[in-house]
């Protein structure tokens, strides 16, 4: 009977092998997930990124048919959480809520216990976290061009604050590099103290989350000059981008996404990406993200992988030119 179904033995064996591979991928996608899932977050509960992660976990749970639990593992600039996912079984049940620090940290640490590219399989983007360049209202500037001009007129005199090594610190250094200006960088342990000093007039300017900036700007307590993203934000559409306002090509946009351990079956990655895309299409998700100052940005796994691979050398170059030494 075998000879009637397959006249060429080698062709028959090849066909069976292809069927087995196809069935395996299909099986992975159909059976997954088989137990509750963990979404590892490298920050404490209550932060902006944590809020996004909790929205995603709640929305993904009914779509995937298993509880998605947020597991906060703060510390070491997110590296503790990232290492946990790198070492987790590659079955899709443990995911990393990744953000911009994933591509910045390789430039800040001499040795990481994981490779940000080799040890992970990107699932898809969630969106962008927009920041704004803000100044104390007493500073006599109303645009990015005026801030740059003032910094050139007072070299090394204006003060800018940020958490060392964070995305907003790197954005500050990017401004220094691309605008060709000099100012005094003041390190802070948190954005809260930096914002307090800005409002009190003890700090001249800084980059901060648009969600935090918007109400203060509307109340006149600080002045927002521009956003760091490539396009204007829906939260404050009146603000230009830094690129259109003064420094063409400037982009220091934070992002969020989901990443799985390397080796996670393709069928599982596809199923996760499909669920993620469905969540991001929901009107309720979009409204909640807009209220947080975030922009929805779904992607394929390949598109997210391309972004990560492009951002690692980009931020490494900024850190190098800024003279930031890896610890």
Same fold, 35-128+253-322 and 131-245: yes
Whether residue 51 is predicted with pLDDT greater than 80 in this model: the reply is: yes
Enter the pTM of the model. Answer: 0.84
Q: What CATH homologous superfamily does 35-128+253-322 map to?
A: Bordetella uptake gene, domain 1 (3.40.190.150)
Per-residue pLDDT of 100-142, as tens digits, reads 999 999 999 989 999 999 999 999 999 998 899 999 999 999 9
- Architecture in CATH for domain 131-245: 3-Layer(aba) Sandwich (3.40)
Give the range among 56-65, 137-146, 175-184, 230-239 with minimum mean pLDDT.
230-239
Instruction: Over range 36-44, report the average pLDDT.
Output: 95
Q: How confident is the model at residue 4 (pLDDT cuts 50, 70, 90)?
A: very low
Confidence of residue 25 (pLDDT cuts 50, 70, 90): very low
Question: At residue 88, does pLDDT exceed 80?
Answer: yes
Domain ranges of the chain: 35-128+253-322, 131-245
Q: What is the pLDDT of residue 189?
A: 87
Supply the pLDDT for residue 10.
43
- Per-residue pLDDT tens for 192-218? 899 999 999 999 999 999 888 999 999
Contacts 24+ apart (CB under 8 A), 74-78: 74/42, 74/43, 74/44, 75/42, 77/42, 77/101, 77/105, 77/108, 77/109, 77/165, 78/42, 78/43, 78/102, 78/105
């Amino acid at each position: 009977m075998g000879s009637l179904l397959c006249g060429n033995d080698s062709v028959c064996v090849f066909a069976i092998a292809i069927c087995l591979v196809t069935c395996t991928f299909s099986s992975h996608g159909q059976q997954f997930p088989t137990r509750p899932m963990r979404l590892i977050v490298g920050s404490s509960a209550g932060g902006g990124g944590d809020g996004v992660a909790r929205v995603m976990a709640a929305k993904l749970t009914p779509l995937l048919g298993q509880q998605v639990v947020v597991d906060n593992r703060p510390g070491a600039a997110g590296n503790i959480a990232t290492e946990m996912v790198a070492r987790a079984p590659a079955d899709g049940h443990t995911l990393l809520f990744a953000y911009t620090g994933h591509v910045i940290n390789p430039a800040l640490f001499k040795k990481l216990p994981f490779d940000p590219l080799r040890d992970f399989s990107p699932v898809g983007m969630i969106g962008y976290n927009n920041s704004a360049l803000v100044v104390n209202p007493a500073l006599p500037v109303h645009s990015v061009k005026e801030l740059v001009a003032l910094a050139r007129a007072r070299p090394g005199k204006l003060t800018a604050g940020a958490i060392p090594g964070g995305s907003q610190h790197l954005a500050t250094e990017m401004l220094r590099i691309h605008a060709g200006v000099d100012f005094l960088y003041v390190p802070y342990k948190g954005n809260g103290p930096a914002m307090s000093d800005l409002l009190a007039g003890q700090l001249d300017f800084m980059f901060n989350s648009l969600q935090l900036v918007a109400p203060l700007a509307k109340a006149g307590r600080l002045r927002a000059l521009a956003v760091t993203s490539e396009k204007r934000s829906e939260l404050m559409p009146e603000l230009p981008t830094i690129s259109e306002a003064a420094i063409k090509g400037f982009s220091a946009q934070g992002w969020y996404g989901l990443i799985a351990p390397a080796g996670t079956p393709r069928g599982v990655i596809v199923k996760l990406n499909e669920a993620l895309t469905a969540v991001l299409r929901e009107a309720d998700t979009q409204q909640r993200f807009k209220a947080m100052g975030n922009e929805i940005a779904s992607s394929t796994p390949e598109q997210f992988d391309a972004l990560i691979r492009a951002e690692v050398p980009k931020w490494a170059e900024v850190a190098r030119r800024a003279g930031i030494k890896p610890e």
